[in-house]
Structure 1
Amino acid sequence: MRAPPTSLAPRRAALAAAAVAAAIGAAVPAAPALALEPLSDGALSNVRGRDGVSFDLNGFAMSGDARVTYTTALGASVYVDHFAAARSDNPLPFSDPYRLDIVPGAPGLADVIKLAFPLNANGEQRWQFAYDWGVNADGVARGNGSVVMSDVVMSGGGLQFSTPQVNDGVAFGAALRLDVGQLALRPRGRDYSGEQMAFSGIHLGGVDANGNFNQTPWAIADVAAQPAVINALTDETGPRLHIGIDWPDGRYGTGAAPAGGLLIDNISFSSPGQPTVDLGSSRIGSMQIQYLDIKFRR
């Protein structure tokens, strides 16, 4: 038994409708492609990124034998080498990263590159640092031992970078809240603690009007309110490296330099076979940087 033949009428109707639609589409001119338009400097300055970059240093460690030397015009020099650093962390990588952003500057000023440090509210991110140092002067070359910093905790704060308001160079700001378990000067090397000068329990941060720590970073410099700068200045002897912090600028802040405090829980000296000399604690309740101007001699 054979199936009845399928009617061709519906297919022919569909083909005819498609042909008519194609003819109509061909008769209508296509919309012209949009051309690129030049933007003025003002329009370009309004184009801003929405996202920054976050990065984590969970479990970071480094060491090496690189040396950095500063030599004076008279030939004397000081160096640091064999730098080592390591960080311990909380068990959740990337839970409290560094953040790098480009943000608008104060009115009339350039944009700012902002590096925000981790908040580290529980103090779980702890750094360990060590380096050796020495001098070469008056015909004497001597290694002077090591500097060791243990349990360094940075909580909040960060760095800013921008264009200086005057002159060339790099303007920068810095805010820091720092706690250090111990800073030790060890003349016999980083691994020998039997002879050392130790500063234990160092605390640096912002303070209130009464000189009490207020659990905030100390703004040592700010790119708008009190900018710091690093550049090269030229005088009658030639170019010199210059590092400075300007006076507080009331146009972009309160006009007063932020106050910070410093506390050292204990200062001590120890030597083999000798009793430890304990100098007790030391504190600066409130301090400010009103102006700083450092020029390195050639």
Structure 2
Amino acid sequence: MQSARRSLLAACVALTLAPALALADGLRPLNDSALSDVRGRDGVSFDLNGFSMNGDLRVSYTRPDGASIWAGNPSASRSDSATPFSDPYRFDVVRSTNGLADIAQFNLPQNLNGEQKWQLAYDFGVNADGIDRDGGSIVVSDLALYGGGWQFSTPRTQDGLALGVALRMDVGQWALRPNGRANMAGQMALDNIRIGATDENGNFTGQPWVFADVARQPALVNALADENGPRLHIGIGAPDAQYGTGQAASGGIEIGKISFTAPSGNVDLGSSRIGNIQINYLDIKFRQ
């Protein structure tokens, strides 16, 4: 009996050690060069299930002569995916594939079924030339984002921040309501807006439109100094043939309906579409 127990114990030990010994046999030591190529991935994912915001926040911009414009009283809410955290926002730090600096990348949810839709609104006003007036409200309904996002990195040759931006967006309605967000009288409305990448024939591809890419066509935000002092500078460089095709990405904008609501009746201006847009170069310098 005791001999049988010893045999059973030996068999159990052998079964336990066999996988470990086989695994150890497949291991090999790594030198410093090989270890330096082992990289993790830094990042975070998060979701906004049940997100809703209302408040009396107010942001104003005032010129040196006292004229100002403001926006305030924002509200925002979002419908959610059927399964929480199944399609999150992602922020990652990734290694560049072409030997450039690492890239901080903020990716929007893919939203393939269009379940994530935003409802947004804010008020605005202006005080200039002796006129202090509430301008009304901007109301955005059923805004859906499908992939895309932002990239942040170090410019190759200049100081500042290199940016990449990609966007695919559908909007149910964008409305300017001069009498307040709940009053549709006198509003101007743009319905069924689409923005995204297009092919050579101007057809939407279902992919985000890449306005700028940190490698192929970087955008740049920095400060430039001249005889008048420092200025904020925002630009998009020409397409880079070394790290891309040398061609700017194509995108399109479509508005299904443009309308005005007036006391005498509604005015329908029809639809509008630009099937092929390319940003080959952009250079904006702000004056003090």
State the TM-score bracket (shorter-chain normalisation).
0.7 to 0.9
Q: Separation in 1 of the partners of 2:219 and 2:179?
A: 37
Q: RMSD over aligned Cα, in angstroms?
A: 1.8
Report how far residue 76 of structure 1 moved: 2.4
The one-letter amino acid of 1:80's match is: A
Q: Which moved more, 1:212-221 or 1:188-197?
A: 188-197
Partner of 2:269: 279
Partner of 1:200: 191
Q: Separation in 2 of the partners of 1:270 and 1:222?
A: 40
Match of 1:255 among 246, 257, 265: 246
- Size of the aligned set, in residue pairs, is 257
Cα offsets for 1:221-242 (capped at 9, x unmatched): 0011110111221121211111
Q: 1:44 to 1:174 in 2, by over 3 A?
A: farther
Q: Is contact 1:205-1:261 (8 Å) kept?
A: yes
Q: 1:59 to 1:291 in 2, by over 3 A?
A: same
| Counterpart secondary structure, 1:142 | strand
Match of 1:270 among 261, 277, 280: 261
Runs of 4+ in 1 over 6 A off after TM superposition: 42-45
* Identical positions, percent: 60
1:67 aligns with 2:53: no
Partner of 2:283: 293
Q: Which moved more, 1:224-233 or 1:278-287?
A: 224-233
Q: Is contact 1:197-1:269 (8 Å) kept?
A: yes
Report how far residue 74 of structure 1 moved: 3.7
TM-score (norm 2): 0.85
Q: 1:220 to 1:156 in 2, by over 3 A?
A: same
Cα offsets for 1:115-170 (capped at 9, x unmatched): 11111011000001111111121122211001010000001111101111222221
The one-letter amino acid of 1:245's match is: I
Partner of 2:69: 78
| Counterpart secondary structure, 1:78 | strand
Unaligned runs of 5+ in 2: 1-31
Unaligned runs of 5+ in 1: 1-38
TM-score (norm 1): 0.82
Q: Is contact 1:225-1:249 (8 Å) kept?
A: yes
Q: Is contact 1:106-1:224 (8 Å) kept?
A: no
Cα offsets for 1:15-38 (capped at 9, x unmatched): xxxxxxxxxxxxxxxxxxxxxxxx
Partner of 1:98: 89
